[in-house]
Structures are given as structure tokens and as C-alpha cells.
Amino acid sequence: MRAKSRVVCGAILCAVALGMVLAAPRASSRQAQGAEEPVPAFHSEAPQGKLPETLSPSLFTNVVVQNAYTLAARVKRILYQQPCYCHCDRSQGHTSLLDCFASKHGSGCDVCMREAIYSYEQSHKGKTASQIRAGIERGEWRDVDMSKYTTPVAAK
């Protein structure tokens, strides 16, 4: 009887694993040049439909967090095309950096906030989403000067 239940459990586990492998991914992931691990999930093309709203900055008391959400809302189309190196694609099923700011996740994550602010800054320098993504993959988001965001940014 034990052998039979082991076989049944093994078959169920194999079926679940096969189902996960065959399920179509919602976002891209690729190996960064010279990287030891794959680039987290992102969308390689601009969004075709309506994007999710970012949460209201007024939900948060920390000024840096408010600013991150304010700036994220201004560059949603770019964030949709960016990976998030806190690896929330693995832990929370996010498909791009935008998902971090459509939820409260971004409020407690320095990586998300730095990447969003980096994306905003680079877009205002005329960089495209793919150029910004290349910078994120190189880790340039780590160099964002967060001290510039300790006072509220102007409303748009």
C-alpha cells in the first residue's frame, strides 16, 4: 500500500512540475551579459493596453517613498519594461518593475525605489526603455542619490 501511495504522490508531483514548465510565461527573462543569473522578469515591448495604476503617494508617510510612487506614476510605460533586481518576480509573481508600485511592495524595498527613480531620471535625459533597462542590468540604479528625494517633489 505504501508503494502505491508513493507512486501516486510521485505522479502528482511530476504532473505539477510539468504543468509549471509548460505554462506560458507572462513576461520575458533573459541572461544578462556576464551575469551569473538571469535578468528578472520584464516586458520587452511597450504596453498595448491600459496599465495598472500606481498606488497613491498619500498612502505613505515617508517622503522618499511618496516621491518614489509619484515618479513611478510619471513613467509607468517605462517601468512596465524594466526588471526588478529584488527578484519579486520569483517571490511575488511580478512581471515588471511597475508591479512593485501598483502594490505596496515598492514602499518597503530600496531596490524598487532606486530602480524607479533611476528610470525616471534616465527617461528625462532622453533614454529609451531599452537603454534604461541596459543601465539597470549593469547595476547603475545603485548609484541613485536618494538624498535628493528627502523633500517632496513638485506635483505634476
pTM of the full structure? 0.76
Bridge partners of 28, per DSSP, are 42
pLDDT tens track for 58-117:
999 999 999 999 999 999 999 999 998 888 888 888 889 999 999 999 999 999 999 999
**Amino acid found at 39:** V
CA distances from 90 to 5, 39, 107 (A): 31, 11, 18
Q: Rg of the Cα trace of the chain?
A: 19
CA distance 155 to 143: 25
